[in-house]
């Protein structure tokens, strides 16, 4: 499934979707999100595929969020909710892949990239991995209730507030301590550890793995509340003067000026 910005390959039981937009640090276009969904469908429909790996094409980035230029036409509450609903659909599809999913993270996984990584079952990281959702210092938007809940499951309320309030990024070791990274290995060992882990999983009982994954997913969804519980907060942020000005500032590569309006 080659495209201009992703490449899908298989090797025995392993499927690999590689994000190949290094000039933009793999910032996700809607076409790339659609290709991620396509990869999920392929893996679920091919019995011989047992593990899906997501990775960047080089070690500068896993995924550096959503392509910000796509936000320029976002103006109304309906636009805001449609954007978050579409992103939630993609992340939910990734979360519901019946086979184990592994994010190989070396470089930045921020914004949408952090969300993609946290929707995977495991995150195998190199020492240069960095995670975060820095919207408080970049765009002034906010996470959906569903994605806030996903991150809350992994790192807990205190760390979640610290991460979102400050807009800072967690380095690999801090992500490991917080529970966001599954393991951190030396850069030269990263691909070997990734392959060994994926092959070990692929050799185990597929029904047990599928049942375990689905049971954990159901338990997490049960305690997250409804998708609509954050709609008022999403629309307040996305339709603000601050958000519109910050998008223009981001694209112009200048710092935003916050007014609280």
For residue range 167-182, what is the model confidence (pLDDT) as tens digits? Answer: 999 999 999 999 999 9
pLDDT level of residue 1 (50, 70, 90 thresholds): very low
**Neighbouring C-beta atoms of residue 199, cutoff 10 Å:** 15
The answer to whether 38 and 7 are in contact (CB under 8 A) is no
10 Å CB burial of residue 193 (0-12, 13-18, 19+) is middle
Domain ranges of the chain: 6-187
Residue 3 has pLDDT above 70, yes or no: no
Looking at residue 2, its pLDDT comes to 46
How far CA 248 is from CA of 73, 127, 236, in Å, comes to 11, 33, 18
Give the mean model confidence (pLDDT) for residues 142-162. 94
Question: Which residues lie closer than 8 Å to 73 by C-beta, 6 or more apart?
Answer: 79
Least Cα distance to 150 among 61, 59, 87, 202 occurs for: 87
SS3 45: helix
The model carries a pTM of 0.94
Using DSSP bridges, classify how beta strands 14-19 and 51-56 pair: parallel, antiparallel or unpaired.
parallel
Residue 90 has pLDDT above 50, yes or no: yes
- DSSP bridge pairs for 109: 63, 131
Q: Where are the alpha helices (DSSP H) in the chain?
A: 30-45, 77-95, 112-119, 135-138, 145-166, 172-178, 190-202, 206-222, 231-238, 241-251
- CA separation for the pair 2, 112 (Å, rounded): 22
Give the mean model confidence (pLDDT) for residues 135-158. 94
The answer to whether 110 and 64 are in contact (CB under 8 A) is yes
DSSP 8-state code for residue 27: P
SS3 94: helix
Buried b or exposed e, range 204-218, using 16+ CB within 10 angstroms: eebeebeeebeeeee
Residue 145 has pLDDT above 70, yes or no: yes
**Neighbouring C-beta atoms of residue 37, cutoff 10 Å:** 13
The CATH architecture to which 6-187 belongs is Alpha-Beta Complex (3.90)
Phi, psi at residue 150, to the nearest 5°?
Answer: -65, -45
- CA separation for the pair 124, 102 (Å, rounded): 7
Question: Which residues lie closer than 8 Å to 240 by C-beta, 6 or more apart?
Answer: 140, 261
Percent of the chain with pLDDT over 90: 90
């Amino acid at each position: 499934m080659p495209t201009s910005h992703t490449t899908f390959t298989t090797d025995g039981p392993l499927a690999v979707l590689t994000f190949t937009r290094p000039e933009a640090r793999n910032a996700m276009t809607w076409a790339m999100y659609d290709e991620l969904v396509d990869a999920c469908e392929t893996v679920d429909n091919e019995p011989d595929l047992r593990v899906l790996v997501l990775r960047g094409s080089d070690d500068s980035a896993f995924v550096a969020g959503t392509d910000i230029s796509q936000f320029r036409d976002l103006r109304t509450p309906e636009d805001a909710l449609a954007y978050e609903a579409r992103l939630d659909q993609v992340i939910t599809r990734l979360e519901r892949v019946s086979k184990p999913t592994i994010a190989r993270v070396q470089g930045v996984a921020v914004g949408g990239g952090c969300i993609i990584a946290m929707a995977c079952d495991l995150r195998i990281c190199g020492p240069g991995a960095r995670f975060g959702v820095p919207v408080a210092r970049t765009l002034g938007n906010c996470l959906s209730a569903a994605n806030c809940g996903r991150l809350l499951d992994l790192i807990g309320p205190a760390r979640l507030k610290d991460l979102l309030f400050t807009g800072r990024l967690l380095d690999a070791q801090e992500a490991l301590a917080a529970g966001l990274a599954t393991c951190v290995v030396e850069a030269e060992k990263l691909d070997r550890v990734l392959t060994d882990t994926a092959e070990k999983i692929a050799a185990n009982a597929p029904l047990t793995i599928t049942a375990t994954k689905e049971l954990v997913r159901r338990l997490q969804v049960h305690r997250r509340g409804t998708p609509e519980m954050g709609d008022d907060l999403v629309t307040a942020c996305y339709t603000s003067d601050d958000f519109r000005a910050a998008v223009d500032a981001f694209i112009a590569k200048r710092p935003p000026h916050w007014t609280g309006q």
